[in-house]
Structure 1
């Protein structure tokens, strides 16, 4: 099947016009100009980009991954797939050890069959001073026994090789045992992210030296950047590591997006940090063990104990792409790299994240307003 469009965004360039040949679930060939024969599907003035890859998402469509049920996971996956996310993680907030273990067990089969790219544990090894929307009474330190429990989680049922279902862990490296935990997790192939942290610059750099390779939602729930005390933000900007950015106009100002993209070319990763409220109306929802309320599209803690604390987002990746391009003024190719290619590379997903021969045929079709008008996953069109 040959697809033709006004623009096809590849890692090397934006093809105007462009075409691609899809055979089964694979992209076989990508070309510039007119296709070698009449296209089977002519997408006209549309732009074709690779399927989005979201490494930090808690739910969507009214459903949360924290429940650990396949039914809830399928709702969240379908909600984000319809908006262009063809590969996604299931992020779990801090909860009791038993609840977290149960959620990992429940979601592990979806990692095994490829519906999820993996599980991301955001907690419980976080700073109480930078807890954000995490219950401080459930936070803990990463002692060796708990680290080994994380590494063992999901192994029997994933069928996915050496790594278990847990593919990423966010932690605060300044906690007792933090650097040792970074080293052990990284050695086991887990992507370690620095986040919800009050770390100094030196503490964050020590974590990076030990194997941390990502910053969780940069600036948010971190010691603020100061010119004499750069903290984790300064360390993450200064080192050759990737950083997550939530491009919803709530978590970050557009000028901050532009500044970070300029400072870290190719190292920016767009994430949604989406809650169950993503893709739905305002109202009350759950984020793990915490109640949240959404007003005017902004999710915050509902109990009033930490007034104004942002609790994830209602974002979907297509909206993040539109904000980054249309509001922040970033180049489409750079934004697509941050929404697809960079996150896929960070997780070692060599099969997705770019429109290239040999990769899985995961495609998003965008109109002139960057609205999603079509999504293909593994060579099959979805309903939109």
Structure 2
């Protein structure tokens, strides 16, 4: 059955009008008007002023009345939605480039790795992702030492495209029984922070705890808390350095996961995948999304101190590609703790590439992954090996599976990941003073047949009305960097 558009947001063509050349006090300011801004879980008709000079969102009344500043141009969005630029927290690569690939000329002034990274950034921003955590899977120490400096957060220009907020290293301190497609031969245990520094490079973990603008190259580490002394020794020190500690690829029980949260872990990597499943007598890692009574954990008795004060609930990533999780599972996770829900893709370098086999560096091995539509498998197996979906498609799926509103869905890729990374008011926000990273969207409601067996099961095979989102424009640091033709 062909798709049938049943309704759409009434939008007009986007128009740009320059201000009078004699207007006083102009300073690179653009006024965006006739649009609906994402404010919390609502859409609000409101103008937005941004500055290409500072790269920030401007408080329009102060600029006009106090500083006597007029916009250089006015952009009429014809009724479209304006949201903060999306933040991707688990991206292994895209457009043919894998962050875990070495080319042999790293460290030179014109390395192939850096060229490929620049190309990815310029293409990724067109999908609506303005900031991201480039993710490096379980690899050898040599590879980490060579690639992580390229992935460190740097203040970039708008023309550079998507911006790295620092690397997410997923491994190699993982459980060998929950390895997924990671090569367990490179897995290690950490007894001290020195073991972690030796693996990734001490400089790549060295931030300035007194200066939040100087962040380490490594922004987030996924580890199994039950392996080595990750919970009691490593997590507290990494947290002190401003590094996000995430639980993942783990056999942790509920008690072990809760102990990790009490010791500084604040994130769960791809909830439900590569971890002990939910059980009614032991909810496993998923259980910490309920209010945990734990702040102290007795490692001798393997029990919690029930008299302690509640510890905070963690953030958690969810892959809404239709392969990793059933749509109802995604809905259950969201309803368990909406404030911690973060959509991620776990996308591999086959994003934007044709179907077929692709080489992949997996620890000290070279392996092959096979892309078939939206399904990505380890060659000659049924093992899921990441995804090939874009983040805006995950947002679409989330809306269609859960009934969430567009603002609610966009929070999962903007304000929530920003809060997880400690970047409230800088990223993922349309508040004055935040970086002027913007996503301009239109949408339509389309009558469609289910596109996957899992979705068909939910709808009994009947056609459904789905929301389809369109990335019409992307702005980075107050400058338009993409416009859909």
TM-score normalised by length of structure 2 = 0.72
Cα distance per residue 1:153-173 (max 9 Å; x no partner): 436899985542001000001
Larger mean CA deviation between 266-275 and 118-127 belongs to 266-275
CA 1:167–1:2 in structure 2 vs 1: closer, same or farther (change >3 Å)?
Answer: same
Task: Give ranges in structure 1 of 5+ residues lacking alignment.
Answer: none
User: Number of matched residues?
Assistant: 374
| Aligned twin of 2:223 | 171
Cα 1:171/1:155, change in 2 over 3 Å: closer
Which position in structure 2 is the counterpart of 1:299? 376
Aligned partner of residue 56 in structure 1, secondary structure: strand
Q: What is the CA–CA distance in structure 2 between the aligned matches of 1:202 and 1:67, rounded to whole Å?
A: 37
In 1, distance between residues paired with 2:270 and 2:255? Answer: 20
Q: 1:177 to 1:56 in 2, by over 3 A?
A: same
Question: Structure 1 residue 139 and structure 2 residue 169: aligned?
Answer: no
Q: Name the structure 1 match of 2:436.
A: 361
SS of residue in 1 equivalent to 2:242: coil
Greater gyration radius: 2
Residue 344 of structure 1 is matched in structure 2 by 418
SS at match of 1:288: strand
Alignment match, 1:106: 150
Cα–Cα, structure 1 residues 50 and 287, in superposed 2: closer, same or farther, change >3 Å? farther
Q: Give the equivalent residue in structure 2 for 1:191.
A: 244
1:241-286 Cα shifts (integer Å, max 9, x gaps): 1111111111122222222222102111111111101122222234
Within 5 Å, give how 1:1-384 maps onto structure 2. Answer: 1-11=30-40, 13-15=42-44, 17-24=45-52, 25-29=55-59, 40-67=74-101, 69-108=113-152, 111-114=153-156, 115-144=163-192, 145-149=194-198, 150=200, 152-154=202-204, 163-179=215-231, 180-239=233-292, 240-289=313-362, 290-302=367-379, 304=380, 307-350=381-424, 351-368=426-443, 369-383=468-482, 384=484
Distance 1:102 1:112 in 2: 17
Alpha-carbon distance between aligned partners in 1 of 2:60 and 2:182, rounded to the nearest angstrom: 45
The TM-score normalised by the length of structure 1 is 0.91
Distance 1:298 1:5, change over 3 A: farther
Task: Measure how far apart 1:84 and its partner are.
Answer: 0.4
Return the offset for 1:336. Answer: 1.0
Q: Gaps spanning 5+ residues in structure 2: where?
A: 1-29, 62-69, 103-112, 157-162, 293-312, 444-467
Q: Residue 76 of structure 1: SS of its match in structure 2?
A: helix
